[in-house]
Structure 1
Amino acid sequence: MNTTAPEHVDVLIVGAGLSGIGAAHHLQEAFPGRSYAILESRETLGGTWDLFRYPGVRSDSDMQTLGYRFRPWTGDQAIADGPAILDYVRDTAADAGIDRRIRYGHKVVRAEWSTPERRWTVTARRGDETVTLTSRFLYACTGYYRYDEGFTPHFDGTDSFGGTIVHPQHWPAGLDTAGKKVVVIGSGATAVTLVPSLAVDAEHVTMLQRSPTYIASLPSRDRAINRLRRLVGPRIAYRVARAKNVAFSISTYQLSQRRPEIVKKYLRRAQERRLPAGYDIDTHFTPSYGPWDQRMCLVPDGDLFRAIRHGTASIVTDRIARFTETGLELESGATLDADVIVTATGLNLLAFGGIDLTVDGNPVSLPDTLAYKGMMLGGVPNFVFTIGYTNASWTLKADLVAEYFCRLLARMDRTGESMCVPVNDDPALTTRPLLDFEAGYVQRSLHLFPKAGSRAPWRLGMSYLHDVVTLRHGRLDDDAMRFG
Structure 2
Amino acid sequence: MAILVEPELDVAIIGAGLSGIDAAWHLQRRCPDRRYAIFEARDAIGGTWDLFRYPGVRSDSDMHTLGFPFRPWRGDKAIADGSDIRDYIEDTARSFGIDRHIRFRHRIVRAEWSSQTARWTLTVEVDGAVSTVTCRFLFMGCGYYDYASGHAPDFPGRADFAGRIVHPQHWPKDLDVAGRRVAVIGSGATAVTLVPALAARGAQVTMVQRSPSHIVSQPSRDRVAHLLYRLLPEPVAGRLARWKSAALGLAAFQFARRFPRRMEAFILNGVRRELPDLPDVDRHFTPRYDPWDQRLCLVPDADLFAALRDGSASIRTDAIRRFTPTGIELASGGHVDADIIVTATGLKLHLLGGIALTIDGTPFVPADHLIYRGMMASGVPNMVLALGYTNASWTLKIDLVARRMCRMLNHMRRHGYDICLPAPPGPDVERRPLLDFSSGYVTRAASITPAQGSRTPWRLHQNYFLDYMTLGFGKIGDGVLRFARTGDASARG
Q: Which moved more, 1:460-469 or 1:335-344?
A: 460-469
Counterpart residue number, 1:190: 190
Report if aligned partners of 2:268, 2:282 keep a CA contact under 8 Å in 1: no
Distance in 2 separating the partners of 1:427 and 1:390: 27
Aligned amino acid, residue 323 of structure 1 = F
What is residue 120 of structure 1 aligned with on the other side? 120
| Equivalent in the alignment of 1:353 | 353
TM-score normalised per structure 1: 0.97
Partner of 1:431: 431
State how 1:274-423 maps to structure 2 within 5 Å. Answer: 274-277=274-277, 279-423=279-423
Give the drift of 1:278: 5.2
Does residue 241 (structure 1) correspond to residue 237 (structure 2)? The answer is no
Structure 1 equivalent of residue 232 of structure 2: 232
Which aligned pairs between 1:143-162 and structure 2 lie closer than 5 A? 143-162=143-162
Q: Is the 8 A contact 1:322 1:329 kept in 2?
A: yes
| Counterpart Cα distance in 2 of 1:265 and 1:379 | 45
* Deviation for aligned residue 1:342: 0.3
Structure 1 residue 363 displacement after superposition: 1.4
**SS at structure 2 position matched to 1:149:** coil
1:361 deviation in Å?
A: 1.3
Give the superposition deviation at 1:134: 0.2
Corresponding residue pairs, total:
480
Identity among equivalent positions (%) equals 55
Confirm or deny: 8 A CA contact 1:58 1:79 kept in the other structure. Answer: yes
1:69-218 residue pairs with structure 2 within 5 A? 69-218=69-218
SS state of the match for residue 336, structure 1? strand
Q: Matched residues in 2 for 1:272 and 1:427: separation? A: 50
8 A Cα contact 1:181 1:202, kept in partner: no
Letter in 2 for 1:218: Q
- Distance in 1, matches of 2:445 and 2:228, equals 44
Q: Give runs of aligned pairs for residues 53-64 of structure 1, distance below 5 A.
A: 53-64=53-64
In 1: Cα distance, 2:93 partner to 2:203 partner: 41
Partner Cα distance (1:284, 1:92) in 2: 41
Give 3-state SS (helix, strand or coil) of 1:39's partner: strand
Q: Distance in 2 between matches of 1:416 and 1:230?
A: 48
Instruction: Note if contact 2:46-2:86 (Cα within 8 Å) is conserved in structure 1.
Output: yes
- Are 2:184 and 2:207, in contact at CA under 8 Å, matched by a contact in 1? yes
Q: Is the 8 A contact 1:74 1:234 kept in 2?
A: no
> Is residue 6–residue 132 contact of structure 1 (8 Å, CA) maintained in 2?
no
Matched to 1:407, the amino acid is R
In structure 2, the CA distance between the partners of 1:6 and 1:237, relative to structure 1 (3 Å rule), is closer
Deviations 1:15-54 (A, max 9, x none): 1111001110111111222100011110111100000000
Q: Over residues 209-231 of structure 1, what are the superposed CA-to-partner deviations in whole Å (9 max), with x where a residue is unaligned?
A: 00000000000001232133122
Output the CA distance in 1 between the equivalents of 2:383 and 2:207: 42
The separation in 1 between residues aligned to 2:452 and 2:131, in whole angstroms, is: 33
Distance 1:326 1:51 in 2: 30
- 1:48 maps to 48
- 2:491: which partner in 1? none
CA separation in 2, counterparts of 1:203 and 1:146?
A: 29
Secondary structure of the equivalent of 1:254? helix
Residue 111 of structure 2 contacts residue 120 of structure 2 at CA under 8 Å; is this kept in 1? yes
Q: Give the Cα separation in 2 of the matches to 1:213 and 1:278.
A: 17
Q: Distance in 2 between matches of 1:201 and 1:384?
A: 43
CA–CA distance in 2 between the matches of 1:110 and 1:455?
32
SS in 1 for 2:149: strand
Q: Which amino acid aligns with 1:447?
A: S
- Residue type matched to 1:23 in 2? A
What SS is found at the alignment partner of 2:288? coil
184 and 479 in structure 1: CA distance in 2 versus 1, 3 angstrom threshold = same
Q: Name the SS of the counterpart of 1:455 in structure 2.
A: coil
Which amino acid is the alignment partner of residue 234 of structure 1?
Answer: E
CA distance in 1, matches of 2:253, 2:203: 38
Q: Corresponding residue for 2:444? A: 444
Deviation at 1:424, TM superposition (A): 2.1
The TM-score normalised by the length of structure 2 is 0.96
SS of 2:134's equivalent in the other structure is strand
Distance in 2, matches of 1:224 and 1:375, equals 33
Shift, 1:425, TM fit:
4.6
What are the Cα deviations for residues 329-362 of structure 1, in whole angstroms up to 9, with x where unaligned?
1110000110111000000110110111111111
The answer (yes or no) to whether the contact 1:381–1:420 under 8 Å persists in 2 is: yes
CA deviations over 1:265-292 (Å, ceiling 9, x no partner): 2112211111132532221000111110
Whichever residue aligns with residue 462 of structure 1, its letter is Q
C-alpha separation in 1, matches of 2:370 and 2:380: 10
CA distance in 1, matches of 2:49, 2:112: 30
Work out the CA distance in 1 between the residues paired with 2:26 and 2:210.
43
Q: Which runs of 5+ in 2 are unaligned?
A: 485-493
CA contact (8 A) 1:15 1:47 kept: yes
Bigger mean CA deviation after superposition, 126-135 or 78-87: 126-135
Q: 1:424 to 1:283 in 2, by over 3 A?
A: same
Q: Quote the residue 2:20 is aligned against.
A: 20
- 3-state SS of the aligned residue for 1:123? strand
- Measured after TM superposition, the shift of residue 399 of structure 1 is 0.2
Q: Aligned partners of 1:90 and 1:52: how far apart in 2?
A: 15
Q: Deviations over 1:85-108 (max 9, x none)?
A: 001100110011111111111111
**In structure 2, how many angstroms separate the alpha carbons of the residues matched to 1:150 and 1:278?**
32
Q: Which moved more, 1:453-462 or 1:244-253?
A: 453-462
Q: 1:278 to 1:337 in 2, by over 3 A?
A: closer
- Conservation of the 8 A alpha-carbon contact between 2:177 and 2:198: yes
Shift of 1:6: 7.3
Equivalent AA in structure 2 for residue 92 of structure 1: T
1:409-456: per-residue Cα shift (whole Å, max 9, x none)?
A: 111111111110111252322211111111011100121011112221
| Structure 1 stretches lacking a partner, 5+ long | none
CA distance in 1, matches of 2:318, 2:419: 55
Q: Which runs of 4+ in 1 moved over 3 A?
A: none
Cα 1:326–1:425, aligned 2, differ >3 Å: closer, same or farther? closer
